[in-house]
Structure 1
Amino acid sequence: MIEQLLWDTTPLYPSSTSPELAQSFDAATSLVSAFRERYRTKVATLTAEQMSEALRSYEELQEVLAKPQLYAHLLFAADSEDDENKRLSQKASEFGNLMGRELLFFDLELIEMEDQPFQALVEAPVLAPYRHFLEALRKFRPHALSEREESLLSQKSLTGVSAFSRLFDEVSASLRYEMELDGEIREMTGEELLSLLHHPDAATRERAFSTFLQRHEEHGILFSTVFNNVALDHAQDMELRSYGHPMEPTNLGNEIPTSVVENLMRVSEANYPLAQEYFGIKAKLLGMARLKNCDVYAPLPDSDRSYSYDEARETVVRAYHEFSPEFSELCDGFFKERRIDALPRPGKSGGAFCMGMTPALPPYLLLNFTGNLRDISTMAHEVGHGIHYLLAQRQSMLNYHPPLPLAETASVFGEMLLTRHLLKGDVDPALKRSLLCAKIEDIIATTFRQNVLTRFEEQMHLRRKDGLLTATELSQLWWDENAKLYGSAVEMIEPYRWGWSYISHFIHARFYCYSYTFAELLVLSLYQKYLKQGDAFIPIYREILASGGSQTPADTLAPAGIDLNDPSFWQDGYDLLRDLIEELKTVI
């Protein structure tokens, strides 16, 4: 049974010491060298046909480069304490950095082309499959540096921001926690401890969350140093590239106008009272005068059921089958082919993720399954990501990965399908209350909380320009932003001042968090269309996923009748949340 909870990476390589893996590194190095020799300083002189050939070769290179690096990441995520995994992960990081520097010239020479010849390439029929890639790349023209400068920045990142990111990962994964539970002192991983936020006993929940956060406080010097260096690196990069706001590079890469992001965030903040209303209802359901923030995900008194891994699998597969047999088959493939690692254990990365590989390789999922209802939702979420990547495999490598704002679409839609499946038929009122609470809490966590995280990150970067931020200052920024969401409805426990210190998105991907808010509200709109249109909606939705990154988010969503520039679009999602809260009131 244990084997079924661990992923099988042997279809990628037999082992971390296999000759095939070593050959991949060597072959990629040779191919990159040949590509550089053939095209460096010549990109601007290529005809449309020659450019098409060059882009196909470039794509093939990206696939060859990705496979050993992604394999190394999977092994390290599964066990970051294994010395061989550490060595391979570092080797892959250095290899990817070197190969990236060797290929920098290609993107830069495209960016630096004169307007007229570049436009002629974009409009050439033979380059139609690459038009979006070329146009998206061109948007960075005002912010690109010379090849020498770009190469030096990339090279120094290995001992700079990348090194700090790696330190954050290794320390986070190495932390152990001791807590008294059921009369005995137990050693736990962070994931096991956080799972106790779903424990029926309020004192246990608070003790678990406090233990987790206080352990991070003990490493406060390290975490505050990492966060400061990440912010400083970003500030220096912005200055070198002439960006005006910390979020601008992310918005440009996402192909989302800043005005759209601001509308999204302002509408979210205007709806914080919805969350506060729900927190008041949840307190009554728990028999409490007021929630603490460690009680937000507490189970209702009559909903303490746990689920086996097989039950969770069957539930998620059925939920997808009710939507589409094709989606169900793709879902079950992750289990049958053992492309899921679900067992929590020391050294394993916390949380969950889906590793989209390449158009030629299947994605893998990392979970930390502990048996509660939220874990089933997480499973449906990550499977959604996986289905997205599988459907996008009709695209070539440069058009494969969905843009960040759409990256969470399929995952959040999968959660909605799960909720619909569980609420189907004559549902016991107690179960219905639990399911509605779980869905409402998911929406709150995926919209409002992610908005709080984004605002904290924004303030961190803006304030860091004025000098070093102490751990106390970071904690206060975190406290202030969370207070706006919780208001007087929720009491924050004192250790929560350190809640910023374990959020890996702040370290690995600037301003990723608003993508969750974007996706959740987008999905609520798409789901409403599905309820109205039925099976006629499925091919429209499938096409959105299958388009991968071949179009801008606006163009991808246009067939579904969605206008991202309309603030009322975002409000529609919160109106559905209000409806769910009203429905919950009927079964209290």
Structure 2
Amino acid sequence: MKSLPRWDLTPIYPGPESPEFLADIELIRTKSAELEARLADEKSDLQTNIEAFELILDHMGNLGSYTHALVSTDTTNAVYLKAFNQVEDLLLVLKPLSVRFMRHLAKREDEIKDRGADDPYAYVLQGLLIEQKHLMSDELEEFAADLARSSWDAFSRLQQSLGSSISAEWEDGRMKTVVELRNMATDGDRAIRKKAFEKKLEVLEIHEEAFAAALNGVKGATISLNARRGWESPLGRSIFQSRIDSEILSALIATLEEAVPLFRSYLKKKAELLGLENLAFYDLFAPVGKSAKRYSYEDAQAFIVEHFSRFSEAMGKFAQNAFEKNWIDPEPRKGKVGGAYDISFPVAKESRILSNFDYTYSGVSTIAHELGHAYHDSKVMQRGGLLAKYPMPLAETASIFCEGLIFRGALEEADEEERIALIDAFLQDSTQVCLDILSRFYFEEEVFKRRKEGDITARELNEMMLDAQKRTYGPALDVYHPYMWAVKSHYYRPEFSHYNYPYAFGQLFGLGLSKRSEDDPSAFVEQYDALLSVSGMKSVRDVGLEAGIDLRDRSFWQEGIEVIARYVEEFKSASPH
């Protein structure tokens, strides 16, 4: 197979030391000073102030996305790290400016209310008014912004750097990074999967104190800041940031808990098909059925474009453009972070996608997932920066919807044995997004509870992780993953706690939307694009109601589980070969 390409960031900036990059840094400083002066005048035009703030947000987004993209593909590159720190320095300007912008809005609350509910900014401005009520004093907010760089943000970077660079000896003195070892979880040879898993645990144990210090640092800072700002709990703030409410989250979690036996039954059948009494954690991604099919990167491109185009010509063209213009970085390599993500560039009106492509169907599906994010970005980036920031649950909806397009397309072309392999791949992902996410939700709740009392040791974190996994996977596994807390970067996000339930939300919401798309495909395309376009402007509940969905009603979430259940039943009818 051909070597994998790397993404092209030069249309964003020619380089991290280029005049264009440095000019944008200076632009933010200049425009911020100008806006500061306007905010001091309570009679200045409010809409002009909003648009000036959005311009700053867009350019900061461009710079931040660019340096994040650089560092995540080469976490030890000194030039990239310098550029990253230059942009981080701008937070000392932007965060106090954001505080003053919210204070300015508070002084003009009556004027904001007079703009009316039909104003496209109505919901977002009301959210900012609530957030400003949770601000500390200006002095403390500035101090927190300054302190972040060398404390909780630094801990987050430490986890990212360690997770992408530490390695274990494999054979003949050759080294494999943790990312490379994780990618071996899909190998058809159980001995290789087991060896890779054990090597990964060995190297994570060596560095467990560093990971534990990082997690304690991030979670401790989160608890302190939330308390100072008057948030009830990290989960309460997460609910606010997600633009949902506790009733929606309760309905979702209750549905996931009720579905635990369904996922365990799938895992028991998978063990049978693999000739095992029980699965180990390293068997979760083992191929079942006709698993020898490998996808070249070119195969992945053709497949994704074809099936995106079947749903929507515009979506197909969007994906084709992303491949042709090298928006995607699929090559696993030393120094590159694991996993996958999409990142947007608001000024350039483009996105980039990082993945670690492994030539499997799962690798194809991952790229489709991230292209779903990018397509979503393309819809909201036509609006101002304040209206383009959609919440995490809706972010995952778009990506999982696109996974569904690929999955259904693959099933159409599959013979009986390939079909079982594809259904297994779908159920693997569904198990991760529902069952494993539930374990992560339990774990993070316990972390916050324990962290209030003091530092948590690596051993205690392992025990907590195992408890959460046993609570969800139960007897379906006989070997668990005690260091999952060390490898999941989601736990190390100081700005967003409980970066877990949005995935389950997206999975089940996306499955519900997929069912509606089958009823009237041509009409749904327009509705779908409109839903994405307004996703940064409304509460999640209101977005759902526009599609005729009440997200507080458990019966809707159960519809998504029923889709999964149909595939579980088909999978359970398969015979071992």
Report TM bin, short chain: over 0.9
Show the counterpart of 1:375: 363
Show the counterpart of 1:214: 202
Query: How far, CA to CA, are the matches of 2:175 and 2:154 in structure 1?
Result: 29
Query: How far, CA to CA, are the matches of 1:2 and 1:80 in structure 2?
Result: 25
Which stretch of the first structure deviates more once superposed, 124-133 or 246-255? 124-133
Q: 1:389 pairs with 377, 384, 397, which one?
A: 377
Amino acid at match of 1:226: A
* 1:438-517 → structure 2 map (5 Å cutoff): 438-493=425-480, 496-508=481-493, 509-517=496-504
Runs of 4+ in 1 over 6 A off after TM superposition: 1-4
C-alpha contact 1:24 1:64 (8 A) present in aligned 2: yes
* 1:547-566 → structure 2 map (5 Å cutoff): 547-566=534-553
Query: How far, CA to CA, are the matches of 2:513 and 2:110 in structure 1?
Result: 35
Query: How far, CA to CA, are the matches of 1:119 and 1:565 in structure 2?
Result: 31
> Offset at 1:4?
6.2
C-alpha contact 1:360 1:393 (8 A) present in aligned 2: no
Show the counterpart of 1:189: 177
Show the counterpart of 2:93: 98
C-alpha contact 1:525 1:573 (8 A) present in aligned 2: yes
Query: How far, CA to CA, are the matches of 2:448 and 2:71 in structure 1?
Result: 29
Amino acid at match of 1:27: L
C-alpha contact 1:4 1:338 (8 A) present in aligned 2: no
C-alpha contact 2:435 2:473 (8 A) present in aligned 1: no
Show the counterpart of 1:205: 193
Query: How far, CA to CA, are the matches of 1:286 and 1:12 in structure 2?
Result: 47
Show the counterpart of 1:146: 137
Which stretch of the first structure deviates more once superposed, 143-152 or 219-228? 143-152
C-alpha contact 2:437 2:504 (8 A) present in aligned 1: yes
Show the counterpart of 2:533: 546
Q: 1:255 to 1:262 in 2, by over 3 A?
A: same
Show the counterpart of 1:521: 508
Which stretch of the first structure deviates more once superposed, 128-137 or 215-224? 128-137
Query: How far, CA to CA, are the matches of 1:318 and 1:381 in structure 2?
Result: 15
> Offset at 1:2?
7.3
* 1:96-245 → structure 2 map (5 Å cutoff): 96-110=91-105, 112-113=106-107, 118-124=109-115, 128-180=119-171, 184-245=172-233
Show the counterpart of 1:56: 51
Amino acid at match of 2:556: F
Q: Does 1:311 align with 2:299?
A: yes
> Offset at 1:387?
0.7
Show the counterpart of 2:386: 398
Amino acid at match of 2:555: S
Which stretch of the first structure deviates more once superposed, 556-565 or 277-286? 556-565
SS in 2 for 1:356: strand
Show the counterpart of 2:395: 407
Amino acid at match of 2:155: F
> Offset at 1:399?
0.4
Amino acid at match of 2:337: S
SS in 2 for 1:491: strand
Q: Does 1:347 align with 2:332?
A: no
Show the counterpart of 2:25: 25
Query: How far, CA to CA, are the matches of 2:207 and 2:507 in structure 1?
Result: 33
Amino acid at match of 2:159: F
Alignment gaps of 5+ in structure 2: none
Amino acid at match of 2:29: T
Which stretch of the first structure deviates more once superposed, 435-444 or 234-243? 234-243
Cα distance per residue 1:530-585 (max 9 Å; x no partner): 12233222211111112240111112222211101112221221111111111223
Cα distance per residue 1:366-398 (max 9 Å; x no partner): 111121111011011011111111122232111
Which stretch of the first structure deviates more once superposed, 253-262 or 409-418? 253-262
> Offset at 1:465?
0.8
Q: Percent identity?
A: 28
SS in 2 for 1:473: helix
> Offset at 1:104?
2.3
Cα distance per residue 1:440-489 (max 9 Å; x no partner): 11111112211211221111011111222111111111100100121112
C-alpha contact 2:6 2:331 (8 A) present in aligned 1: yes
Q: Does 1:72 align with 2:55?
A: no
SS in 1 for 2:335: coil
Amino acid at match of 1:93: E
C-alpha contact 1:16 1:88 (8 A) present in aligned 2: yes
> Offset at 1:434?
0.3
C-alpha contact 1:246 1:462 (8 A) present in aligned 2: no
Which stretch of the first structure deviates more once superposed, 308-317 or 547-556? 547-556
C-alpha contact 1:250 1:510 (8 A) present in aligned 2: yes
C-alpha contact 1:213 1:499 (8 A) present in aligned 2: no
C-alpha contact 2:338 2:356 (8 A) present in aligned 1: yes
C-alpha contact 1:292 1:490 (8 A) present in aligned 2: yes
> Offset at 1:10?
0.8
Q: Does 1:434 align with 2:421?
A: yes
> Offset at 1:587?
4.0
Show the counterpart of 1:280: 268
Amino acid at match of 2:518: L
C-alpha contact 1:395 1:548 (8 A) present in aligned 2: no
C-alpha contact 2:4 2:297 (8 A) present in aligned 1: no
Query: How far, CA to CA, are the matches of 1:76 and 1:126 in structure 2?
Result: 42
Amino acid at match of 1:131: A
Cα distance per residue 1:221-268 (max 9 Å; x no partner): 111111111111111112212222220111111121122212211221
Amino acid at match of 1:174: S
C-alpha contact 1:108 1:146 (8 A) present in aligned 2: no
Show the counterpart of 1:36: 36
Cα distance per residue 1:148-186 (max 9 Å; x no partner): 221111111112211111222222222122223xxx553
C-alpha contact 1:260 1:565 (8 A) present in aligned 2: yes
Which stretch of the first structure deviates more once superposed, 475-484 or 136-145? 136-145
Which stretch of the first structure deviates more once superposed, 57-66 or 383-392? 57-66
Q: 1:568 to 1:164 in 2, by over 3 A?
A: same
Which stretch of the first structure deviates more once superposed, 336-345 or 578-587? 578-587
Q: 1:321 pairs with 280, 298, 309, which one?
A: 309
C-alpha contact 1:359 1:397 (8 A) present in aligned 2: no
Amino acid at match of 1:504: S
Show the counterpart of 2:15: 15
Cα distance per residue 1:20-53 (max 9 Å; x no partner): 211111122111111112223x34x45xxx1011
SS in 2 for 1:345: coil
Amino acid at match of 2:298: D
Query: How far, CA to CA, are the matches of 2:453 and 2:396 in structure 1?
Result: 34
C-alpha contact 1:200 1:298 (8 A) present in aligned 2: yes
Cα distance per residue 1:485-529 (max 9 Å; x no partner): 211121124xx2122111100101311111001100101111111
